[in-house]
Amino acid sequence: MNIKLIIFDFDGTLGDTRRNIVTTMQMVIKELQLSERSEAECASTIGLPLAECFRTLFPDIQEELILRCAETYRRIFNENLQKIKPVAFPGVVKTLKTLKEQDFALTIASSRSRKSLTELTRDMGIADYISYFIGADDVKEAKPKPEPVLKTLAAMQYDAYETLVVGDMAVDILMGANAGTKTCGVTWGNGTREELKEAGADYIIDRMEDLLGVPTTSESQ
């Protein structure tokens, strides 16, 4: 491979936000008097656009209520940030620093808002390593559609064959594959190794530091 650009997912890949997200979702469900959902059910929607999370959890929900869910979620999530601080996963800060020093271009494509991404990466101490952000408000078609990757390629002026997409969920792998890039699944997030394999990940790693060997290797894991 001749990888020059690495596009990261955020939640579950760089940032450990599971507790924040699940806690917030369950508080929204309680406040709006919806049927209770388990931690596992809530966590399974991480990576999807916010509205799609609630559509997945409540297939028969009315569209009007989805908008209320999303608005309530944003309010409660920001309130919870004062009490539950998301952190970078082990090895993330050091690995991003090393990749940047090796002249890789590093970007993020996430289903959360760009404003949230800039704030969270700043708080985690990784913002300086990221050259470009794509948030849910920047695209019309979210993961697993390729638009977040294609817009990043256009903005950063790289080709798909020079790009690696890294994420913890099947939607991340499918997004990269649909755009024609190589893909790398990570096992410390919200998806399982089996789900990443089924999605067709070219590589699967168990530690962030293992990513340093991926762009120069020629064989899938």
Q: Which residues are designated catalytic?
A: 9
Amino acid at 123: D
Q: Tell me the two tokens of residue 99.
A: 């990749």
| Long-range CB contacts (within 8 A, 24+) of 112-118 | 112/10, 112/11, 112/50, 112/136, 113/137, 114/138, 117/10
144: DSSP letter: T
Give the 3-state DSSP-derived string for 36-98, with helices as H, strands as E and coil as C: CCCHHHHHCCCCCCHHHHHHHHCCCCCHHHHHHHHHHHHHHHHHHCCCCCCEECCCHHHHHHH
Question: Do 8 and 167 meet the contact criterion of CB atoms below 8 Å apart?
Answer: yes
From 149, 169, 177, 153, select the one nearest 48 (Cα to Cα). Answer: 169
φ/ψ of residue 169, rounded to 5: -125, 155
